[in-house]
Structure 1
C-alpha cells in the first residue's frame, strides 16, 4: 500500500482533524501573541482562546471551574509538577498500578531515591487483569497509602482500570488519588467527581486529537489538593509581577512561562470537533477493535489484552512466535508501509507483569478514528505473510 497505514495512535493520534491544522496555521500567522502579557487586541484574542479551551476541558470532565484546568507542555511535565509539588519524606507510602507509564514511575522513583518514600504496587490478576481489592485492602492496612497513582487506560494493553473502585478504597485511608488520563480522556468518560480522584492528567495529542506540545492537569474542585500542592516551576505569569513569589490563585500558581498558544489553539479546535463527533468516534473505534482482535485470535498470535473486552479500548499488544517484536515491526514498516510500535512502550512495570521482558516487550497496534476497515484487513494480510 502506497499510503501509510498508521497503527500507532497510542503514541499520538494521526492524522488530526483538518480543522486543527487550519486553526494552528491561522493562530501562528495572525494571533501568535504572548497570553497575559499585553492588553492590545491580538493578546486579548489569544487569551480568549486559552480561556475557552479551559472551559471546553472543564466541561469534558464535568467540572464547573475552568480555572482548575492547568496547562503544561506535556502530560510528562504535568506529572513532574505534581510529584515535585507533593510533600515527601521517609514516612510516605505511594501506590501505583503495574500499568503505569514512565511519566509517572520515573518522577516517583527519583523522589523515593531522594527522600526515602516507599513505592508499592497495587495487586492485579495476571490473567484477567482484574483488580484484587481484597489484597489491596490488606496492603493498605499494613502500609497506609498517602498517594495513589492510577492510569485510566494502559498504553500497552488497552485495559481500562477500575478507577472508581480503587479510588474509593484508597480514600478510606485518606490517600490523595492522581489519575493518568492521557490515554482515556476523549474516548472513555472521565468525571472527576464520579471517579473520586483529586487530579487528572491529560495529553492533548492522544484521544483528544490535538497537537503535540500541550497537556496539563485538572484539579477536582471538591478536592483540597491545590492547597497542599506546592509550586514546582517558577517564573513569570503576567500577573502580580512585583511579587517574587508565585501567585496563589489557579491556574497561575502552576503556569510559569509563555504558554504555547499555537498548540492550545489546535487543542481548542480538536475539542470542538470531538464534542460533535465523540459518539461516532467511540462506535467506529470499538467496531474496528473487535474486528482486529477477532482476526488476531484466528491467527494464533499471543495477545496481551484483558479477558473482558468491555474493559478495553483499541490498544492491542501481541507477540508472534519465533520473532522479536522489533523484527515484525520493521518488516511491517519497510515492506508494507505499516506503522506500529515495538518494545517496552515507556512502561517498565507492565512487561514484568505480563512476562514479556525476555521477548523484548511487545508489538503494539493502536487504532484511531481515522483508521479504516480496509487498513485492518491489509494489516492482517501483511502479518499473515510474516507469520506463515
Structure 2
C-alpha cells in the first residue's frame, strides 16, 4: 500500500521550504523504498530551492542520506529489506558506452525511480533532488541508488558520503590521483574541500595546503589533515603555494569553489605537468579566459570531477571501513543534528559559513 509520510518541499523559486504530507508508492520493478534515518543539508538543496538547477517545482529536497531498506520491487537482488544503505545519485546502468569501456564511474545513463512521489493533498508529482528526495521519513529510489554498508555505522556521518564528502574525497583520490609524497593545494574549505584535504592526507600527500577567506574554515581544515593554511584575503595564493612547494607549485590543485578567479589561481599554482581538478560547481553564466600558450606550455592535466569520479558500490563501503577503523573522521563533518522542520534555518546558517553540515535526523 502507498504510504503517507512527512517530507520537505520547495514549492516555488526562493520560497521558504515547507514540511508537508507526501505519498510514497510501493516500489515497482527495480525500485526500493528506504526509511530515511539521516540526511545532510547540502548546498545543492539550496540551489534547487533557488531555481539554480532547473524549474521542475515542486522539489522534494534532500539527497545526502542513509537509512534502512523497507521494501523492494520485482527483480531487485542487490539489496533486501533490513539492509542499511547509503543513497547515491549515480546508479550505474552497466550497459552504456562508459560502462562497456570499464569506466562505470562515468556512466551516462544512471537510474532513478520510474514512479514519482506526490503531494498528499492534490496528487501533484514531486521532483526528487538528485533523484533521491530524502528530507522525508521515507523515500522511493532506484534500487541501484542503495549501497549496502556496515549496519553499525552512524547514519548521520556516513550519509554524507552520498554527495559532498564523496565528491571531495574522490576529487583528490580518484580524479587527482594523489599519491605518496605529493603536494596538494585545496582552494575552498567547505565540506567538499575538507573532504579533499582528508582524501589527500589519507592517500599519503606530505604537503596539504588549505586555502580560504575564512580563518574558521582554515582552522577546521587543519583537523582534516592540512599541513599549511593560506587566507586568500591576506596573501597572494599562487605565490604562497609556490613558496610552500620549493618554488614549483603543487602537484595537484583542487578547486572546490567553482569560480573563475579561484580556478585561475589553481591553474597557475600547480607545478609544470601538474593537475588541476575542478570539483566546485559553477553557475551556468560563468566563463574563464586563459592564454592558450599557458595551457600548452604548462602541460599536465585540467580535469573536472563528477561526484568524485566514484563508483558507489566500490567506494562507499571502503570509506565506511576507513571511518570505522578511525582513519577517516566522518563525524567531524557533522556540525549539528536538526529536525525535519529545521531545514530552512539550516540554509540560513550556510550563508554565514557557520556549519560544515547540518544533518536532519529522522
TM-score scaled by length of structure 2: 0.34
Higher strand share: 2
Task: Tell me which of the two structures has the higher relative contact order, counting C-alpha pairs closer than 8 angstroms and 6 or more residues apart.
Answer: 1
Higher helix share: 1
Larger Rg: 1
